[in-house]
Amino acid sequence: MTAPSIANTEQRVVIIDTGCANVSSVKFAIERLGYQVEISKNPQVVLAADKLFLPGVGTASEAMHNLEQRDLITLVKQITKPLLGICLGMQLLGKQSQEHGQNGTDLVPCLGLCNAVVKKINAPELPLPHMGWNTITPQPNHPLFNNIPVGSYFYFVHSYAMPVFDHRDSDGGQTIATTTYGQAFTAAVQSGNYYGVQFHPERSSKAGAQLIKNFLEL
């Protein structure tokens, strides 16, 4: 029988200070698991971290502008430890996004850490944003979803999404969980040490707390 994992709460956990509104709620969710966490954009602090979180709310164009203003674009690309992008933070890991203000047609260059283009959800019969609770279908046996029951619900708020994709052979990452809202889209992604979830684990009750715990224990 496999021994239960023991959380290393002495890890250095950093939330990258993107200036977005959900930083505090992510911080509280991590602290509830017994970890100390720092919010920072200092390169020395960021690059010394054991685990990192990249939160984001708003539009891709605004978020990339904020990252540029805070000298974070190159810094995020230098990270070699596990990083978890949340909601828009996950979308920023892609190559490009259609989410340019209210336009929705121009492509915004993103971080290019996985080989995917974020597009507006094609669900003409359903309201946008996709807001509320929905289930995910994770990749079997992926450690990010350990001890999360099949059919668990997570909280989503978004109008744009990554398509389902798999570019493992080209180091472009892959979808590791899907959700359906009019069409299937990527609910979670991994490209090397970069992970992302489209939903808000910090607002997703026990399943979300377990996912954050799993990430911190990777």
Q: Which residues are catalytic?
A: 87, 200, 202
CA distance 152 to 207: 7
Structure tokens at 74: 């190159």
The amino acid that residue 51 corresponds to is: K
Are 145 and 84 in contact by the 8 Å Cβ rule? The answer is: no
CA distance 211 to 36: 17
Are 107 and 59 in contact by the 8 Å Cβ rule? The answer is: no
Compute φ and ψ for 4, nearest 5 degrees: -65, 145
Are 157 and 145 in contact by the 8 Å Cβ rule? The answer is: no
Please report, for residues 77, 89, 154, the alpha-carbon distance to residue 16 in angstroms, rounded to integers and kept in the order given.
13, 10, 23
